[in-house]
Structure 1
Amino acid sequence: MSVTGSISPIALGATLYVPCMRGDLFVAVIGARRPPGLRSAVLCLEDSVRECDLPTALAHLATFLRALATREPASTDPLLFVRPRSAAMLEHILCMPGIERIDGFVVPKAHADSMPAYLALPLHDRHRLMPTLETRETCDPQEMRRFRDQLLAVQDRILALRIGGNDLLQAMGLRRAAHRTAYEGPLGGVMAQLIAGFAPWGFALSAPVLERFADTALLREEVMRDIEHGLLTKTAIHPTQIPVIQTALAAPANEVEEARLMLAEGGPAVFGREGVMCEPATHRGWAERLLERAAFFGIADPVALRA
């Protein structure tokens, strides 16, 4: 299963989910009403669309793809993904004209028993997959080990694993409490387990959505916790969340300087800086990701971060 082209998961930034029930899908994602700064979008046919509305939603997607196929791609275009409801639906979508212009697909409710049906489909060489970890199997370390072993065989196809926070809480019969980040409730333990189970094997993970989209301060706090845990892309459900997430993803100036010193050719094996030990042999991975983050989101303005 070959994959052409290279996409960094960090390039996703705030990934906006857009229901395919929107009749203005192309204008909302690519055209005049595209949110400023949008880097990636998921055209959703799953939980955001009622079963009875699927024919309309699929028709909107087909119209979007035809419009996409008739225009020249631009360097500022967002990365585009489709979230089907099932492998059977994806098989149908893969026959739509223009589907080769899509960057990939979000696989809903992914686990070791559901994933093979998606992997068996005739994906285009450029299509990348983002399985969503959102079922009860996600809470079982043994099941996640089984899933990881399966994904290792097709790792070049996997762009990122998306953590479906609301669905995981729903499996527990819970909803996130107000004014608390995902890390302060039962979801925090599951996320830590997923990071430990996948990140050391080279898989990127995407942080879950904060459904309280009007709480800007909480979103900013949660993104900082995401970064601490190595989650450098996050699901967004409202356009106003995009600048908050991507401003928080900007790299702190002092850390950028530290990363550059660690990666400097001919630098010392270990050195101290402002009372902190810096050891390139153990901090190189962090330094490389930090500079990649700075390349995509810039260097943080301390005043903006405090706002």
Structure 2
Amino acid sequence: MIQPISLGATLYVPADRTDLLQIATGGKYPHLRSVIFCLEDAVSEASVPTALENLRLLVTQLAVMDEAAQTRPIILVRPRHAAMLRVITSMAGADQIAGFVLPKITAETLDEYMDALQSDEHCIMPTIETREAFDSEAMKALRSKLLPIKDRVTLVRIGGNDLLRTIGGRRSKNRTIYDGPMSSVIANLVTTFVPYGFSLSAAVCDNFVDLDLLQEEVELDIDHGIFTKSAIHPNQIELIHNVYKVSTEELISARAILDSKAPAVFSINGAMMEPATHTDWAKNIITRSEIFGTLSVSAKILSSA
């Protein structure tokens, strides 16, 4: 099972490109932790045969390059529909694919995709990007369908641009996705799925030039408990990973909370620490520090209470 936070910035790559092998083996983007080779919206109908052949060639090549597996990003594939998923899973070398990003998933469409999977070795990442996202009962119905197969669900992806399309909108170039109608939708998805053990992946930021805006948005993702993000441009990868680093102060707090000898309530730098309620946060901080590293900020335990 893939640890969701380990995905980091997941780069979307149209599968009709000619450099899939360089990307999949880590040569083109060395800091890339995960990649989605997309055969859905990112590929025109006319280019689908080329994309499928590219993918077939890629997994065949990867199958004889296992010695390089440790340096590869996690490889995911987004099929166009369930019938295409069936074709992909039957390819020789399909075991080189870690999992599948399932597009436009609802409680009604999920079964068709699950039936198309040829084995249980692949994880799935259902994507919420249809008008059902605005219907809390529809999202609860999807959650109910996912719960029995939760061990296969690495995370649930949020398709921000498709959701905006359903209301005739698009991302603002100068504002985060939280500065508009998607803010309440994302908050509702968090409260619908996360308390039941599902992780979420944050929507892409369309502006890949304004890195200050991207940083602000990733910080807001974290405030919503979302710790992996779709990326549409390699410029975004390193910044997203940098924002996922934890401060020394956070790390000190986390270790103190997880200390078996910690008091029930204590303070660090004027903030209350309570192991009974902050343990999950602390474990997440430790994991982020192990994967992405730490920033240099000092902190000290001031008092206990």
TM-score (ref. length: structure 1):
0.94
Check conservation: 2:63, 2:93, Cα contact below 8 A: yes
2:232 to 237, 254, 262: 237
2:122 to 116, 123, 127: 127
Residue 29 of structure 2 aligns with an amino acid whose one-letter code is P
CA contact (8 A) 2:37 2:78 kept: yes
Q: Does 1:71 align with 2:78?
A: no
Residue pairs, 1:176-195, within 5 angstroms: 176-195=171-190
Quote how far apart the aligned CAs of 1:124 are.
3.2
Choose which of 252, 264, 269 in structure 2 pairs with 1:274.
269
Aligned to 1:87: 82
| Cα root mean square deviation, aligned | 1.1
Matched, 1:116 2:74: no
Distance 2:72 2:3 in 1: 15
Of residues 68, 89, 97, the one that matches 1:102 is: 97
- The separation in 1 between residues aligned to 2:37 and 2:264, in whole angstroms, is 47
- CA apart distance, 1:29: 2.8
1:301 to partner: Cα distance:
4.3
Query: 1:124 and 1:156 mapped to 2: Cα distance?
Result: 14
For residues 178-202 of structure 1, what are the alpha-carbon distances to aligned partners after superposition, in whole Å with 9 as ceiling and x for unaligned? 2211111101110000001000001
Q: Aligned pairs, how many?
A: 296
Report what 2:300 is aligned to.
none
Q: How does 1:1-307 map to 2 (within 5 A)?
A: 6-30=1-25, 32=27, 34-72=28-66, 73-301=68-296
Structure 2, gaps ≥5 residues long: 298-305
Q: Is contact 2:85-2:117 (8 Å) kept?
A: no
Between the two proteins, what is the percent identity of the paired residues? 46
Asked if the contact 1:223/1:245 (under 8 Å) is kept, the reply is yes
In structure 2, C-alpha distance between the alignment counterparts of 1:258 and 1:37, rounded to whole Å: 28
Letter in 2 for 1:71: M
Contact 1:16/1:237 (<8 A) preserved: yes
1:215 offset after TM fit, Å?
Answer: 1.1
| Change beyond 3 A, Cα 1:82–1:190 | same
CA contact under 8 A between 1:100 and 1:124: conserved in structure 2? no
Moved over 6 A (4+): none
Q: Partners of 2:121 and 2:47 in 1: how far apart? A: 29
Report the Cα offset of residue 222 of structure 1: 0.6
Q: Quick check: 1:263–1:284 contact (8 Å CA) kept in 2?
A: yes
Aligned-partner Cα distance in 2 for 1:243–1:177: 22
TM-score normalised by L of structure 2 = 0.95
| Alpha-carbon distance in 2 for matches of 1:69, 1:24 | 17
